Protein backbone atom coordinates (compact mmCIF):
# COMPACT_ATOMS: atom_id res chain seq x y z
CA UNK A 1 0.00 0.00 0.00
CA UNK A 2 1.28 3.42 -0.95
CA UNK A 3 0.72 6.55 1.06
CA UNK A 4 1.13 10.09 -0.19
CA UNK A 5 2.01 12.71 2.35
CA UNK A 6 1.90 16.43 1.52
CA UNK A 7 4.17 18.65 3.56
CA UNK A 8 3.84 22.42 3.22
CA UNK A 9 6.97 24.53 3.51
CA UNK A 10 7.09 28.24 4.30
CA UNK A 11 7.34 29.88 0.89
CA UNK A 12 9.00 33.06 2.14
CA UNK A 13 11.78 31.30 4.06
CA UNK A 14 12.38 28.91 1.16
CA UNK A 15 12.57 31.82 -1.33
CA UNK A 16 15.05 33.70 0.87
CA UNK A 17 17.28 30.88 2.17
CA UNK A 18 16.37 27.68 0.33
CA UNK A 19 15.61 26.05 3.70
CA UNK A 20 12.41 24.01 4.04
CA UNK A 21 10.60 25.03 7.22
CA UNK A 22 7.16 23.45 7.81
CA UNK A 23 4.29 25.89 7.14
CA UNK A 24 1.28 26.03 9.42
CA UNK A 25 -1.26 27.86 7.24
CA UNK A 26 -1.99 29.16 3.77
CA UNK A 27 -2.63 32.88 3.24
CA UNK A 28 -4.31 33.99 -0.01
CA UNK A 29 -3.36 37.43 -1.34
CA UNK A 30 -4.68 39.24 -4.44
CA UNK A 31 -3.01 42.33 -5.87
CA UNK A 32 -3.31 43.94 -9.32
CA UNK A 33 -5.44 41.07 -10.59
CA UNK A 34 -2.94 38.42 -9.51
CA UNK A 35 -3.81 35.96 -6.75
CA UNK A 36 -1.16 34.10 -4.78
CA UNK A 37 -1.32 31.42 -2.10
CA UNK A 38 1.46 31.61 0.45
CA UNK A 39 2.22 28.69 2.72
CA UNK A 40 3.61 30.36 5.86
CA UNK A 41 4.59 29.74 9.43
CA UNK A 42 2.33 31.33 12.05
CA UNK A 43 4.87 34.14 12.64
CA UNK A 44 5.16 35.01 8.93
CA UNK A 45 1.36 34.87 8.47
CA UNK A 46 0.97 37.26 11.41
CA UNK A 47 3.58 39.61 9.89
CA UNK A 48 1.73 39.65 6.55
CA UNK A 49 -1.57 40.47 8.24
CA UNK A 50 -0.05 43.23 10.40
CA UNK A 51 1.65 44.77 7.36
CA UNK A 52 -1.54 44.79 5.27
CA UNK A 53 -3.94 45.80 8.06
CA UNK A 54 -3.75 49.62 7.51
CA UNK A 55 -4.38 49.14 3.77
CA UNK A 56 -7.31 46.77 4.38
CA UNK A 57 -8.90 49.19 6.83
CA UNK A 58 -8.61 52.08 4.34
CA UNK A 59 -10.02 50.10 1.42
CA UNK A 60 -13.50 48.92 0.51
CA UNK A 61 -14.99 45.73 -0.84
CA UNK A 62 -14.89 45.16 -4.62
CA UNK A 63 -17.79 46.76 -6.47
CA UNK A 64 -18.32 49.51 -3.92
CA UNK A 65 -17.41 53.06 -4.90
CA UNK A 66 -17.00 54.30 -1.36
CA UNK A 67 -16.06 52.83 2.00
CA UNK A 68 -18.89 50.90 3.64
CA UNK A 69 -19.42 53.42 6.46
CA UNK A 70 -20.59 56.06 3.95
CA UNK A 71 -24.37 55.91 3.68
CA UNK A 72 -24.55 57.92 0.44
CA UNK A 73 -24.07 54.86 -1.76
CA UNK A 74 -27.63 53.62 -1.17
CA UNK A 75 -29.38 56.86 -2.19
CA UNK A 76 -30.12 57.22 -5.92
CA UNK A 77 -28.90 60.41 -7.54
CA UNK A 78 -31.35 62.87 -9.14
CA UNK A 79 -30.09 61.98 -12.63
CA UNK A 80 -30.68 58.28 -11.94
CA UNK A 81 -34.21 59.02 -10.72
CA UNK A 82 -34.96 61.05 -13.86
CA UNK A 83 -33.46 58.39 -16.10
CA UNK A 84 -35.58 55.67 -14.52
CA UNK A 85 -38.69 57.83 -14.79
CA UNK A 86 -38.01 58.44 -18.51
CA UNK A 87 -37.46 54.73 -19.12
CA UNK A 88 -40.72 53.91 -17.35
CA UNK A 89 -42.56 56.54 -19.43
CA UNK A 90 -41.18 54.97 -22.63
CA UNK A 91 -42.20 51.47 -21.49
CA UNK A 92 -45.70 52.65 -20.53
CA UNK A 93 -46.09 54.48 -23.85
CA UNK A 94 -44.95 51.41 -25.83
CA UNK A 95 -47.26 49.13 -23.83
CA UNK A 96 -50.25 51.42 -24.36
CA UNK A 97 -49.72 51.17 -28.12
CA UNK A 98 -49.25 47.40 -28.07
CA UNK A 99 -45.74 47.57 -29.52
CA UNK A 100 -44.34 44.04 -29.55
CA UNK A 101 -41.16 42.31 -30.61
CA UNK A 102 -40.86 40.60 -33.99
CA UNK A 103 -42.05 37.30 -32.50
CA UNK A 104 -45.07 39.09 -30.96
CA UNK A 105 -44.56 37.42 -27.59
CA UNK A 106 -42.98 40.14 -25.53
CA UNK A 107 -42.98 43.92 -25.36
CA UNK A 108 -40.48 45.40 -27.80
CA UNK A 109 -38.42 46.86 -24.96
CA UNK A 110 -37.85 43.52 -23.13
CA UNK A 111 -35.16 41.00 -23.96
CA UNK A 112 -35.77 37.26 -23.78
CA UNK A 113 -33.68 37.15 -20.60
CA UNK A 114 -35.95 39.74 -18.95
CA UNK A 115 -33.72 42.80 -19.34
CA UNK A 116 -34.66 46.13 -20.87
CA UNK A 117 -33.43 47.76 -24.04
CA UNK A 118 -34.62 50.66 -26.13
CA UNK A 119 -34.17 50.18 -29.88
CA UNK A 120 -33.44 53.25 -31.97
CA UNK A 121 -36.77 52.90 -33.79
CA UNK A 122 -38.71 52.92 -30.50
CA UNK A 123 -36.82 55.98 -29.25
CA UNK A 124 -37.53 57.88 -32.51
CA UNK A 125 -41.24 56.99 -32.30
CA UNK A 126 -41.40 58.17 -28.68
CA UNK A 127 -39.58 61.43 -29.48
CA UNK A 128 -41.99 62.07 -32.37
CA UNK A 129 -44.91 61.43 -30.00
CA UNK A 130 -43.50 63.93 -27.48
CA UNK A 131 -42.92 66.53 -30.22
CA UNK A 132 -46.51 66.14 -31.44
CA UNK A 133 -47.81 66.56 -27.89
CA UNK A 134 -45.68 69.68 -27.43
CA UNK A 135 -47.09 71.17 -30.66
CA UNK A 136 -50.65 70.49 -29.49
CA UNK A 137 -49.94 72.12 -26.15
CA UNK A 138 -48.35 75.14 -27.83
CA UNK A 139 -51.40 75.53 -30.10
CA UNK A 140 -53.69 75.55 -27.06
CA UNK A 141 -51.67 78.36 -25.47
CA UNK A 142 -51.78 80.67 -28.50
CA UNK A 143 -54.68 83.13 -28.70
CA UNK A 144 -57.25 82.37 -31.35
CA UNK A 145 -56.55 84.42 -34.46
CA UNK A 146 -59.38 86.23 -36.15
CA UNK A 147 -59.84 85.66 -39.82
CA UNK A 148 -57.89 88.29 -41.68
CA UNK A 149 -59.81 90.16 -44.36
CA UNK A 150 -58.71 89.38 -47.88
CA UNK A 151 -58.17 92.23 -50.25
CA UNK A 152 -58.33 91.73 -53.99
> Could you tell me the residue ranges of all domains in the chain?
11-58, 78-141
Higher pLDDT, 39 or 102: 39
CATH topology of domain 11-58: Wheat Germ Agglutinin (Isolectin 2); domain 1 (3.30.60)
- Average pLDDT along the chain: 79
The average pLDDT across 8-26 equals 92
Distance CA 96, CA 99 (A): 8
pLDDT digits (tens, 9 = 90+) for 88-146: 888 788 878 877 666 766 666 677 777 777 777 778 888 898 888 888 776 665 555 55
Distance CA 93, CA 83 (A): 15
Tell me: pLDDT of 68 over 70: no
Q: Which of 150, 102, 93 is nearest to 125 (CA)?
A: 93
CB 53 within 8 A of CB 22: no
| pTM tops 0.95 | no
CB atoms within 10 A of CB 68: 9
Amino acid sequence: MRELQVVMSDDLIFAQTGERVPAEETVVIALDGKTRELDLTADNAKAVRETLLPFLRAGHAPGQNMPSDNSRGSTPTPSLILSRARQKAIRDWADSRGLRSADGKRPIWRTESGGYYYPHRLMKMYEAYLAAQARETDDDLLPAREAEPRYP
